[in-house]
Amino acid sequence: MEEVVRLEDVWKVYGKGEAAVTALKGIDLTIHRGEYVAIMGPSGSGKSTLMHIMGLLDTPTKGKVYVGGRDVSWLGEDERALLRRNYIGFVFQTYNLIPTLTAMENVELPMIFAGVPERERKRRARELLEKVGLGDRVNHLPSQLSGGQQQRVAIARALANDPDLILADEPTGNLDSKTGERILDMFDELHDEGRTLVIVTHDEEVAKRAERIVRIRDGKIEEVIG
Ligand SMILES: Nc1ncnc2c1ncn2[C@@H]1O[C@H](COP(=O)(O)OP(=O)(O)OP(=O)(O)O)[C@@H](O)[C@H]1O
Ligand SMILES: [Mg+2]
């Protein structure tokens, strides 16, 4: 099976000396194309750190990261940013939309960075917002949207550059259970479309939707189910 991202003996140490925290302790993990993987584990176990490294938002202290089979461990910040733009869509617990931009403009933003011409960009942003059921909210600001609607804008934004991998760090953590379920249905649809998803969750019910569950504890993979 084609691999999207592979981590090889990844370690992450934050800080130095007495204050140093080892957040990841030798993680080996491969995500294959089309997979739906849930990452679970207690608070502080290293889940977000792992997501940031898989998403090229951060680099390991030791170990290697391969994207599409290519070692990206030694890329500089500019090269990583370029790769990240086309390879990854990130969905955060707190949505992380730009408050002064409309739903449409938020979805357009990654496409602006990628140099997509305006007409094509607007067409695609509208199409994505329609896909997540927000075709009638394109000109609303985040503050004029509910939490679930904001998260749907964030999902549309994550899809903007047609990424190889969608990473979601507790995407339903701030939502009521019904709204959370709607967001998860959306991830199911993305999975059915053949997209590759990795989602961090505390919720066993959420994890049941995934094909594989990776449990981490104290910076190590404790168990892989599926
Ligand atoms: N920027 C940082 N500087 C120093 N330590 C950090 C930093 N980010 C995370 N840590 C530490 O690394 C460990 C792992 O943190 P991480 O955020 O990956 O955990 P998590 O599993 O996502 O937890 P949660 O479920 O609470 O979100 C924790 O002990 C945390 O305090
Ligand atoms: Mg976290």
* pLDDT recorded at residue 86: 86
Q: Which helix (H) or strand (E) holds 105?
A: helix 103-113
pLDDT tens digit sequence for 204-221: 888 899 999 999 999 999
SS3 225: strand
pLDDT tens digit sequence for 70-117: 999 889 999 999 999 889 999 999 999 999 999 999 999 999 999 999
* pLDDT recorded at residue 203: 87
Tell me the C-alpha distance between 116 and 122, whole Å.
9
pLDDT tens digit sequence for 120-142: 999 999 999 999 999 999 999 99
Whether the pLDDT of residue 166 is over 90: the answer is yes
Residue 157, both tokens: 């934004």
Q: Which residues of 178-190 are buried (b: 16+ CB within 10 A; e: fewer)?
A: ebbeebbebbeeb
Among all bound ligands, the one having the nearest atom to the CA of 45 is 1
Whether the pLDDT of residue 65 is over 90: the answer is yes
> Dihedral sign, CA of 214, 216, 221, 225?
negative
* pLDDT recorded at residue 184: 92
* pLDDT recorded at residue 66: 97
Q: Which of 18, 21, 94 to mutate to test the pocket of ligand 1 (most atoms within 8 A of CB)?
A: 21
Whether the pLDDT of residue 63 is over 90: the answer is yes
Q: Which of 25, 45, 167 to mutate to test the pocket of ligand 1 (most atoms within 8 A of CB)?
A: 45
- Which residue, 203, 220, 214, 223, is CA-closest to 44? 220
Q: Where are the domains of the chain?
A: 3-225
Tell me the C-alpha distance between 54 and 136, whole Å.
34
pTM for the full predicted model: 0.94
Average pLDDT, rounded, for the chain: 94
Whether the pLDDT of residue 9 is over 90: the answer is yes
Tell me the C-alpha distance between 146 and 149, whole Å.
5
SS3 161: coil
* Backbone dihedral region for residue 219 (phi beyond 0: left; psi -120 to 50: alpha; all else: beta): left
Tell me the C-alpha distance between 208 and 3, whole Å.
23
Q: Which of 13, 49, 199 to mutate to test the pocket of ligand 1 (most atoms within 8 A of CB)?
A: 49
Query: Ligand 1: which residue has its CA nearest to atom 31?
Result: 44
Instruction: Collect all residues with Cβ–Cβ distance below 8 Å to 91 and sequence separation of at least 6.
Output: 151, 154, 155, 158, 166, 167, 168, 169, 171
pLDDT tens digit sequence for 27-38: 999 999 999 999
Query: Ligand 1: which residue has its CA nearest to atom 24?
Result: 43
Report the pLDDT averaged over residues 15-29.
96
* pLDDT recorded at residue 35: 96
On whether the 3-225 domain is CATH 3.40.50.300, my answer is yes
CA 220 to ligand 1 center in whole angstroms: 13
* pLDDT recorded at residue 74: 85
CA 61 to ligand 2 center in whole angstroms: 19
Whether the pLDDT of residue 1 is over 90: the answer is no
